[in-house]
Amino acid sequence: MHKSAFIFDMDGVLVDSTPYHLEAWEIALKRYGYNLATDFKVRPYGRRGRDILGDIAPEMSEEKIDEFADAAEKIFRDIYESEVEQIDNVVEFINHLKRRGYKIALATSAPRENVDMILSVLHLVSFFDPVVCENDVERGKPEPDIYLKVLEILREKPENCIVFEDSFAGIESAKRASIEVIGVISTNEREELEKVGIRVIESFDELLREL
């Protein structure tokens, strides 16, 4: 892989956190009178909580959406902090990239508090430069804003970068920023990811062998 910068999504790429997000949303939705089974009709992976809620409950005010999203994310952190585990060999892969002097960035739809918690548990706080999250852009994935922001900070051209994503929203976001994407199997199956015409990996072991 002849690239100079590697950009990682977080949920579904660094950690397999989806079941805990769904649990947190189910708890939060019940508090607000919604039912996850009947109201959660969109595939939420990769998108900001505020954007997902706008689809589920378009009648909610912006103030209520912010209140709900903050509550759901706090519930998520409370139930997930003791359960954080890396996706197979991703930390080893990032360590390998760091030792070889590559630029490494994080681009996630998660709020800053989630990022700080997960990177701290994985001992990766100092590894990403930059870290761009939902707080840093006006529009979330699948809009390209977050990856365009990373490119701007890295001062890199899209063709010099690779993005690791697990969600269709994230893949679309990176593609719209003209960056090559490698799909990580976690929230979606291999067959689904391959349909969008990208390389797919089961484990970062595959890339470690190549490097």
- Count the alpha carbons within 13 Å of 42 in the hemisphere toward its beta carbon: 17
- Give the count of beta carbons closer than 10 Å to the beta carbon of residue 195: 10
Closest to 117 (Cα-Cα) out of 8, 14, 19, 5: 14
Phi, psi of 183 (to 5 degrees): -85, 135
Considering 9, 11, 51, 166, which one is annotated as catalytic? 9
| Pair 35, 157: CB distance under 8 Å | no
161-165/180-184 β-pairing: parallel
9 is catalytic: yes
For residue 160, what is the DSSP state? G
Q: Which residues are catalytic?
A: 9
